[in-house]
Amino acid sequence: MKIRIYSGDITKMNVDAIVNAANNALLGGGGVDGAIHRAAGPKLLAECRTLHGCETGDAKITAGYDLPAAHVIHTVGPVWKGGGCNEASLLASCYRRSLEVAEEAGCRSIAFPAISTGVYGYPKEQAATIAVAGINRYFNEKKDSCIGEVYLVCFDETTEKLYQKLIGKSGNQI
C-alpha cells in the first residue's frame, strides 16, 4: 500500500472512493460535505436519506453519482471539545472504519480529507498524526488488503506541511 499526499479538491479525484467528513444526520452540510454533495448531484442526498444517519466514528458507503469517484464513504468525525471526550479514538475509528467499508466494496484506491479539522475544530497536527498512524496500523494488520493506494488530501498549506513531515514528500510504502 502506498500513501500519497494530494493538494486540492477531493471532488475532482478519480479514485474508487472518496471519504466525506459528514455529520450524524448524513444530510449534507458545509465544508467538504457541501462540496461533495454539490459535485455528486441530488441523487447522493436521496441515497443518504435511506441510511438513517451514522454514529460518530463509524462510516457508511454510497455511490458517487456525478463524481469521478465510484463511491463516497461518509464518516463522522468527533467535534473537538478539548481532548478529554474520547476524540482521539473516535477520529482513529473514522479512518479504520472507512478503510474497512472500502475494503468490503472492493475499492483499490481511496482518498481522505483531513477529517474533523475544519468546522469540527480538531487541532491539525494531532489529527494528521492520528490519520497517518491509523492508516499504517490498518495495513500492518491487513496484509492482504485490496486497497493499494491511499491519498491524504490537503486543502490548506498547514495540513500539507504536516503530512509531508509525517510521511515524506514522495509518500511512503507499507
Chain residues binding ligand AR6 by CB under 6 A are: 9-11, 21-23, 29-33, 35, 77, 113-120, 153, 155-156, 159
Which is closer to ligand AR6, CB of 146 or CB of 156? 156
Overall residue count recorded for the chain in this entry = 174
Which is closer to ligand AR6, CB of 62 or CB of 117? 117
Least Å distance, CB 136 to ligand AR6, is: 20
What residues contact 33, with CB distance under 8 A and at least 6 apart? 20, 21, 22, 23
Tell me which of 9, 33, 66, 144 is the catalytic residue: 33
Write the DSSP assignment of 19-67 as a string of letters.
EEEE-TT-S--SHHHHHHHHHH-HHHHHHHHTTT---TT-EEEEE-TTS
Least Å distance, CB 143 to ligand AR6, is: 30
Active site residue 16: no
Which residues, listed in sequence order, are joined to residue 83 by a DSSP beta bridge?
A: none
Which is closer to ligand AR6, CB of 114 or CB of 167? 114
Least Å distance, CB 48 to ligand AR6, is: 11
Catalytic positions, please?
33
